[in-house]
Amino acid sequence: MDIQITMRWSLMVVIVLVFSIVQAQTHSYQQAYESYLQSIEKPIAEAQSRLSYVKDFFLNHVKEESKVYVIVIIRDESWRWEQVYLRVLVWEDDVIGGQLVSVMSVVSGYPKGAKFVIDQDRVVDWLIIHVDGREEGNFVLASLQE
């Protein structure tokens, strides 16, 4: 009987320790996420202020072979996060349907090519690649390279 109690107690201690570690990691990921968002606040605001232009461009130039991407941040339940590119396939009202073109290395479960449907308010940046190779957008990347 004493061995069973000791084993249960040991198991309880292990569970509490694991939970504490997970909580600490989650808190750390959450802090990193919030800190990152704060550091790119200005380029996000600039990108979002021009989002109607991107939508109009997509709706009017999709047949020209130009490519339109939106950049979003994907998080999992542990607050691990990753900024990814989605190629826009559909844009109706404030909803965007796209295909993941990034290879994810932090958040698992989303293979390259996975389809997403997101609200446009989740967009943190965008990128247009014109037929002639010119690029527009990518404000976050530009600010991080300064």
Lowest mean pLDDT segment, chosen from 6-20, 26-40, 65-79, 131-145: 6-20
Q: Are residue 56 and residue 94 in the same domain, yes or no?
A: yes
State the average pLDDT over residues 24-30.
66
Q: Return d(Cα 131, Cα 11) in angstroms, integer.
A: 61
Distance of CA 77 to the CA centre of its chain: 13
Q: Are 11 and 55 found together in one domain?
A: no
**Are residues 69 and 8 part of one domain?**
no
Q: pLDDT by residue (tens digit) across 87-141? A: 999 999 999 999 999 888 888 888 999 999 999 999 999 999 988 889 999 888 8
* pTM, two decimal places: 0.77
CA distance 12 to 1: 17
Q: Which residue has the tokens 């200005």?
A: 42
Q: What domain count does the chain have?
A: 2
Range of the domain at 99: 42-145
